[in-house]
Structure 1
Amino acid sequence: MQEFEAIVNKSGEHGIVVFSLGSMVSEIPEKNAMEIVEALGTIPQMVLWRYTGKAPPNLAENTKLFKWLPQNDLLGMAFITHAVPMVLMPFFGDQMDNAKRMESRGAGVVLNILEMTSKDISVALKTVIYNKKNIQHLSDLHLDRPIPPLDLAVHWVEFVMRHKGAPHLRPAAHDLKWIQYHSIDVIAFLLGVGLLELFISLKCCLYCCRKCCCRSGRMSKKSKSKSQ
C-alpha cells in the first residue's frame, strides 16, 4: 500500500484514474491495448491500470501497470469499472444492459470494445472526469437518508445483542429439514411425473405399433386368400 500511497501523493491536484476490467479480463489484444494507452496519455491524471498481459509498446509516462489494485482505496477522479463516474466497456452477459442503464442515468459513458478508438476513449475519459453534474446529483440522492449506513449497521448489531440473537429475525430456512432445504422432495416429485409421462408415452407407442402390425398382418392374409 505504501507504493500506491506514494503515487497518489505525487498525482497532485489532478488526482488519479483507476482502470480495471474486472477479475475475468486479465489482458486484451495488443491493438486494443495500444488504443487505450494512447487515450490514457492524453489526460493529466496519473493512471493505475490492473493489467497482467504484455505491456503495450506505447505505454505513456502517466500510466502504470499492476497485477493487482486496491480499488476501493484508490477510488479517485475517474474509475473505469463498476463504480461512478464510469467509462464502461461491456464484454458479455448482462454487462451491456447494465452499462446502458448507467449511461441513461448520466452516470457513465459506454464504449464498444471492438470498435472504440483512442479518440473515443479520450473523449469518454474527459467527459466523466470534468462533467460531474449528474454524478453529484445521483450521489446526493443516494446519501440523502435519515440514518447514515454505519449508524444503521451499529443499531442492528446492538439490536441483535440486546435481544439475545433476535431469534424472530432468524430465516425460516434454518428450520427446514435437509430434504426440504435442498428441494429433494420437489425434485423427486418432478422426476416421478417425468418418468410417468415417459412410461405412458412408451406404452402408447407400443400400442400403436402393435395395432399397425396387426393391420398389416390382416391385410397380407386377405391378399393371400384372394390370390388363391
Structure 2
Amino acid sequence: MEEFVQSSGEDGIVVFSLGSMVKNLTEEKANLIASSLAQTPQKFLWRYKGKKPATLGANTRLYDWIPQNDLLGHPKAKGFITHGGTNGIYETIYHGVPMVGVPMFADQPDNIAHMKAKGAAVEVNINTMTSADLLNALRTVINEPFYKENAMRLSRLHHDQPVKPLDRAVFWIEFVMHHKGAKHLRPAAHNLTWFQYHSLDVIGFLLACVATAVFLVTKCCLFSCLKFVKTGKKKKRE
C-alpha cells in the first residue's frame, strides 16, 4: 500500500470509503464511480468489498480495509471521498483534508451539510449523480485552494487545545486510580433500584392517575345519563 501511495508523485492520493455499513454497490453505480476516478491523475485507495468494477482504472486500488486515519494524515493525501460518518469527519478535520461528501442516511447528510457550510466539502447525491458530477466534485476540492485552506483552518481550530487529548486521557485515568474509583463522579443512577432506574414507580403513579380520571369521568357520564333518563320518564308520566 505504501508503495502505491508513494507512486502517486506530485498528484497525491485520494482516500475513498463509504463506511463499514456499505460493503458493496450496484454494478452500475460501481462502474460509474470507477470510470470517474480513472479520469483523474491522483491515485485512489478505495475501501470496497464488492465485485471489481469493469471500468476500474490503473490509478485505483480496492481494499477490504484501509488504515483510514493514517492515510488521511499522509503528506500526499489530497482529498477524501466519504459518506459523512462522524468518525471520518473528525479524522478529516484533524488532518485538514478537503472532502467530497456522498451522504446516504442517518446523521450523514447533516454532517456533510455542516462541512459544506464551512467551505471544506462538496456534496454529490449518490442516487442521481453522474460520472461528470463526481469528477467535477473531485477536481473542485483538489484543484481549488479555497477548500484546502478552509480544511486547514478547521484543523488548526481542532488542534488548538490547552491540553493534548492523550495527556487529558492519562490525567483522568490516573485521577480515577488515585481516588480509588472516584466514586464522587459516579452517576446517581447507580444507586437506584431497578424499578426506580426504569421509572416504573413514576409510570405506575401516572397510570393510577389516568385510571382514576377515567373512572371518575365514566361515573359522571353514567350518573348524568341516568339522571337524564329518569327526568324523561317523569315527564312522560305527567
1:121 to 131, 134, 138: 134
Q: Distance in 2 between matches of 1:19 and 1:106?
A: 20
Q: Alpha carbons of 1:117 and 1:164: their partners in 2 closer, same or farther (altered >3 Å)? A: same
- Matching of residue 149 in structure 1 with residue 150 in structure 2: no
Q: Alpha carbons of 1:202 and 1:32: their partners in 2 closer, same or farther (altered >3 Å)? A: farther
Deviations 1:110-163, CA, capped at 9 Å, x for gaps: 111122122221121223234301001111111112222212222222222333
- Matching of residue 138 in structure 1 with residue 154 in structure 2: yes
Q: How does 1:29-178 map to 2 (within 5 A)?
A: 29-75=26-72, 76-81=77-82, 82-83=88-89, 84=92, 85-130=98-143, 131=145, 132-178=148-194
Q: Distance in 2 between matches of 1:59 and 1:199?
A: 71
Q: State the TM-score, normalized to the length of structure 1.
A: 0.78
Counterpart of 1:63, as a letter, is: T
Deviations 1:63-110, CA, capped at 9 Å, x for gaps: 122233332233233222232322111223332222211100112111
Q: Distance in 1 between matches of 2:30 and 2:227?
A: 70
Question: SS of the counterpart of 1:52?
Answer: coil
Structure 2 alignment gaps of length 5 or more:
83-87, 93-97
Q: Alpha carbons of 1:58 and 1:159: their partners in 2 closer, same or farther (altered >3 Å)? A: same
Counterpart of 1:107, as a letter, is: A
Tell me what 2:85 maps to: none
- Matching of residue 22 in structure 1 with residue 10 in structure 2: no
Deviation at 1:20, TM superposition (A): 1.3
Deviation at 1:179, TM superposition (A): 2.0
Aligned residues: 219
Deviations 1:38-70, CA, capped at 9 Å, x for gaps: 221122222122223322221111112223333
Q: Distance in 2 between matches of 1:61 and 1:147?
A: 44
Question: SS of the counterpart of 1:92?
Answer: coil
Question: SS of the counterpart of 1:77?
Answer: strand
| Rg comparison, structure with higher value | 1
Question: SS of the counterpart of 2:31?
Answer: helix
Percent identity, aligned pairs only, is: 54
Q: Alpha carbons of 1:70 and 1:200: their partners in 2 closer, same or farther (altered >3 Å)? A: farther
Question: SS of the counterpart of 1:64?
Answer: strand
Q: Alpha carbons of 1:211 and 1:72: their partners in 2 closer, same or farther (altered >3 Å)? A: farther
Counterpart of 1:78, as a letter, is: G
Q: Distance in 1 between matches of 2:219 and 2:107?
A: 45
CA RMSD of superposed structures (Å): 3.1
Q: Distance in 2 between matches of 1:30 and 1:208?
A: 71
Counterpart of 1:114, as a letter, is: N
Q: Alpha carbons of 1:34 and 1:156: their partners in 2 closer, same or farther (altered >3 Å)? A: same
